[in-house]
């Protein structure tokens, strides 16, 4: 149980466990590991309550019916696991507005949350346009030795570095 209370785990151990989880997904569900489809299915379930005829006529939802399935439960498990890990480790939350963000954009928590929300929306839209998220395109794709998976990871790192440079410049800390 002591392992679960650590504030940080080895990235090598976690990466290996994600690989094993990916194998398990392929063996038991015959599908690659992914989480962005669960977001679309959640939207479909909400839409089904309001406009079921629209959901029934939607080609995407014919291919991926809106329902609670293993991918949806994986997302729920990610949230539950992160919450449980934070509680067990006793880690205190970071400040609402990190110092580097304050230095570049001011101390408004509302602006910080709006920026995080907008970034999440853009990320979700991009994942759906790309046909998968980091776990679907990157992890599962690279485990299958797909060129697209490796290309995705290269683009992910390059775009992440470029975005960080545009947002924060050359500053890495304020100490």
State how far the alpha carbon of 140 is from the alpha carbons of 16, 21, 32, 88, 148, in Å.
Answer: 13, 10, 6, 30, 10
Radius of gyration from C-alpha coordinates of the chain: 19
| C-alpha to C-alpha distance for 161 and 151, rounded to whole angstroms | 16
Largest CA distance in the chain: 57
pTM of the model: 0.74
| Tens digit of each residue's pLDDT (9 = 90 or more) over 68-112 | 998 899 899 989 988 888 888 887 777 788 888 888 889 999 999
pLDDT above 90 as % of the chain: 25
């Amino acid at each position: 149980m002591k392992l679960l209370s650590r504030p940080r785990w080895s990235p090598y151990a976690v990466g290996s466990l994600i690989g094993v989880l990916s194998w398990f997904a392929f063996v038991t569900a015959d599908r690659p590991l992914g989480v962005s489809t669960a977001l679309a299915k959640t939207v479909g379930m909400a839409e089904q309550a309001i406009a079921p005829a629209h959901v029934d006529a939607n080609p995407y939802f014919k291919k991926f019916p809106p329902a609670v399935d293993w991918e949806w439960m994986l997302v729920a498990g990610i949230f539950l696991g992160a919450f449980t890990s934070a509680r067990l480790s006793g880690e205190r939350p970071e400040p609402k507005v990190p110092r580097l963000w304050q230095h570049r954009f001011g101390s408004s928590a509302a602006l910080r949350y709006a920026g995080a929300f907008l970034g999440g929306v853009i990320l979700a839209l991009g994942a759906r346009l790309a046909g998968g998220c980091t776990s679907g395109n990157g992890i599962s794709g690279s485990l299958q030795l797909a060129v697209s998976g490796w290309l995705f990871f290269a683009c992910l790192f390059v775009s992440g570095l470029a975005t960080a440079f545009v947002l924060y410049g050359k500053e890495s800390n304020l100490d």
